[in-house]
Chain A
Amino acid sequence: MSATLTPQAGRATRGTTATKPVESRWERLAPYGYVAPFYLLFAVFGLFPLVFTFVVALFDWNPIGDRTFVGLDNFVRLGEDPRFWNALRNTFSIWILSTVPQLVIALVLAQVLNKARLRFASFWRMSMLVPYITSVAATTIVFAQLFDRDYGLLNFFIGLLGFEHVDFKNTVLGSHVLIAVMVTWRWFGYTTLLYLASLQAVPRDLYEAASVDGAGEVKQFFNITLPSLRPVIIFTVITSTIGGLQIFTEPLLLQPTSGTTCGAERQCQTLSLFQFEQGFGVFNFGYGSAIGVALFAIIVVVALINYLLSSRVGRRA
């Protein structure tokens, strides 16, 4: 059958469509109606707020008091604000700590799940998706307890082994690890399934040929599996970056006694949480929006880096 129906964006593909040349005015307009809901909602709740973020960031804006135009003051202050750099550092640290192990675990598990003769295949896959359907809020409450300094299960075992209890919540590295564990736990099964789907697109004879050549499982992994997964790995890195920049609920709920700072030293306050603190904690809409603009700039930079890296890798390959 003719399945040439994937018009590349940016290329005229009129010929592939199922429409007749002559149609009523209504019929001509109908497609716009079908796609309109998205653009309408996006305009109101996506695009306008995005643009308006840049405007609000130029003001000293108190929602129940005054607003004053202050130009770029908010940005100047942001550059000098150690809390901003702290939040930036925390965000990236948590992002790396959660992304790298997640991808490694997912790679291994996908490889394992890809065995043709694996039993209970469906059971393994479904079980690994259970964390994904568990909410971040519930996840945080459970893990905060498991990792508690005084009464946590993990520290009970650490104590049994004769070590001092570790205060995960109140140390920089500890709180980052704890949040990274939560993120990894929620997403590794999901990422595994993505990798598995990609692996299944790899022609089987590649593996067979490798087997015949005497390549062991490890060699097959590095020579076949990894290269064929490169696109999906890049994809998951992008999505985990976008997700990682928005980590909010975990640090908010991890330390219920410290409000929006995630600890006395802001040791796990992320950019998203810092934005919330400024916007809805102390109601400085202008400064909060400036943090939003900074987030936007970071995303653009990350996207550029990603584009450069992937096109270079692409050329080399």
Chain B
Amino acid sequence: MAQLVDAPDRSSAAGRSKGPGRRREPRLDRVPRGRQVGRVRWYTYAVLTLAVLACLFPLYWMFVVASAGTEAAAEMPPRVVPGGRLLVVTQLVFDTIPFLRSLFNSLVVAGLIAVGQAFLCALAGFAFAKLAFKGRDALFLLLVLTMTVPASLSVIPQYMIIAQLGWVDSLQALVVPGLVSAFGIFWMRQHISATIDDQLLQAARVDGASSWQIFSKIAFPIVRPAAFVLGLLGFVNAWNDFLWPFIVLKSPEVYTAQIAIKALQSNLTVDLGLAMAGSFLVTVPLLVLFAFFGRQMVSGIMDGAFKG
């Protein structure tokens, strides 16, 4: 299999700015190349335990307050064990806003974006990696440049466009702009370059296969795991997105789950138990997803499949 695509090149600023995106191909856990040898001391585990506690405690706390109700949020000394009211408080959340529908909306939006990104980024990445066409390099450079422009600086015209399209207050306003990402294409291109042998494609070409057939029959099956990870990360990002849905969604029946928990918070009362329960409920689906695919996400991120 291919070695690293390029050796670390410290003199080139361009190479560097891609940073970890460079280190593409090999499954990182496999090779202990850069691992430090030697004994692992107790304080190593102490540091790690501390870090993991810091990561998990806020979620545990969310569960404690959610399960104990609003009273628990204002208890002094604070409560540290979960209560038995999770179902009651959950019911309250579902009664206050159409939360189940919000979860469903989030699932639809994040699911479509995940599928769109996995497929469209792989397709475009394939074209950039393996097909020749006029203007390819210029287009690719443009693509890389777009990654540095944060979307939030032009939300006002973006909103105007959505309004012109008649998409205000509808889920397609979230899905369509998110179907494909520059970063995803960039990553899939690097990945395809590194993992797919030119000779394989050449052979298919000689047999008369079209570029579409080559992609769908040969290339995509090979990179499917990477596309899956990309989709997974797209799903997480879309599920957690706040600013854009907050701007374009106005009616509770189209709320995504993140907007719904904001709606829980903005009554004349800020009911913390309710807000915590809402937060807990929007986090649980991702925790479940993470339990199944966390390992892939970790290796995907270490492979450079992240989004800034």
Contacts and interface: CB of A to CB of B under 8 A. Distances in A.
- Whether A and B touch directly in their complex, counting CB atoms under 8 A apart, is answered as yes
A113 B48 contact: yes
Contacts of B303: 197
Contact of B133 (A31, A108, A143): A31
A108 B22 CA distance: 22
Contacts of A257: 270
Contacts of A42: 146, 182
B226 to A, nearest CB: 15
Contacts of A139: 58
Contact of B152 (A252, A272, A311): A272
Interface residues of A, number: 139
Nearest to B65: A145
Given A52-B160, A53-B157, A127-B56, A5 B129 contact: yes
Interface residues of B, number: 142
Given A3-B5, A190-B306, A201-B23, A153 B61 contact: yes
B127 A35 contact: yes
A151 B128 contact: no
Given A13-B137, A109-B51, A256-B270, A314 B16 contact: yes
Contact of A197 (B133, B159, B304): B304
Interface in A34-68: 34-35, 37-39, 41-42, 44-50, 52-53, 56, 63
Contacts of B61: 142, 145-146, 153
B91 interface: no
Residue picked from A197, A239, A249, A257, most chain B C-beta under 10 Å: A197
Contacts of B181: 38
B15 to A, nearest CB: 8
Nearest to A310: B13
A236 B301 CA distance: 13
A16 B198 contact: yes
A84 B78 CA distance: 39
A166 interface: no
Interface in A224-246: 228, 230-232, 234-236, 238-239, 242-243, 245-246
A7 B144 CA distance: 14
Interface in B285-308: 286-287, 289-290, 294-295, 297-298, 301-304, 306, 308
A50 B146 CA distance: 11
A138 B240 CA distance: 9
B32 A204 contact: yes
A299 interface: yes
Given A48-B161, A52-B160, A115-B38, A38 B143 contact: yes
Contacts of A228: 8
A126 B298 contact: yes
A34 B165 CA distance: 25
B280 to A, nearest CB: 8
Nearest to B177: A45
Contacts of B19: 194, 198, 231-232, 234-236
Interface string A260-304: 000000000000100110011000010011001101100100010
8 contacts: A17-B130, A35-B139, A138-B261, A138-B280, A145-B276, A151-B74, A208-B37, A317-B10
Interface of B: 1-6, 8, 10-13, 15-23, 28-29, 31-40, 44, 47-48, 51-52, 54-56, 58-59, 61-62, 65, 73-78, 120, 123-124, 126-133, 136-141, 143-144, 146, 148-161, 176-177, 179-182, 185, 190, 193-194, 197-199, 201-202, 205-206, 210-212, 214-215, 236, 239-240, 242-243, 246-247, 258, 261-262, 265-266, 270, 272, 275-276, 278-280, 282-283, 286-287, 289-290, 294-295, 297-298, 301-304, 306, 308
Interface of A: 1-3, 5-7, 9-14, 16-20, 26-28, 30-32, 34-35, 37-39, 41-42, 44-50, 52-53, 56, 63, 105, 108-109, 111-119, 121-122, 124-139, 141-143, 145-146, 150-153, 156, 185, 188-190, 193-194, 196-204, 207-208, 211, 220, 228, 230-232, 234-236, 238-239, 242-243, 245-246, 248-249, 252-253, 256-257, 272, 275-276, 279-280, 285, 288-289, 292-293, 295-296, 299, 303, 307, 310-311, 314-315, 317
